[in-house]
Structure 1
């Protein structure tokens, strides 16, 4: 099986998508979003894509 470590995603993360992911994570965890979590990486990716 081939690993796609640095492959470009077919659809870029948007700020709205990252917001939904972060909101759902915060609700599930009682208000906190852990550093390094998927929600945190989504937010970072959205910020980079919006430049």
Structure 2
């Protein structure tokens, strides 16, 4: 079983771009794209505090 990787801002941006293309530029609250962005922000804060 492969190791999982933490969500980063680059991956979240790709997800949001794909979602925007399908939904006419709208990202709804609670959508997968919104949750990905939230996870990326939390991970960025977590990794920057470790340095």
Q: Of the candidates 19, 28, 39, which is equivalent to residue 25 of structure 1?
A: 19
Unaligned runs of at least 5 residues, structure 1: 1-8
2-side partners of 1:36 and 1:23: how far apart? 16
2-side partners of 1:30 and 1:44: how far apart? 21
Q: How many residues align?
A: 43
- In structure 1, the partner of 2:10 is 16
Compute the TM-score of the two structures, normalised by the length of structure 2.
Answer: 0.79
Compute the TM-score of the two structures, normalised by the length of structure 1.
Answer: 0.79
- Displaced runs of 4 or more, over 3 A: none
- In structure 1, the partner of 2:31 is 37
Unaligned runs of at least 5 residues, structure 2: 46-51
- In structure 2, the partner of 1:3 is none
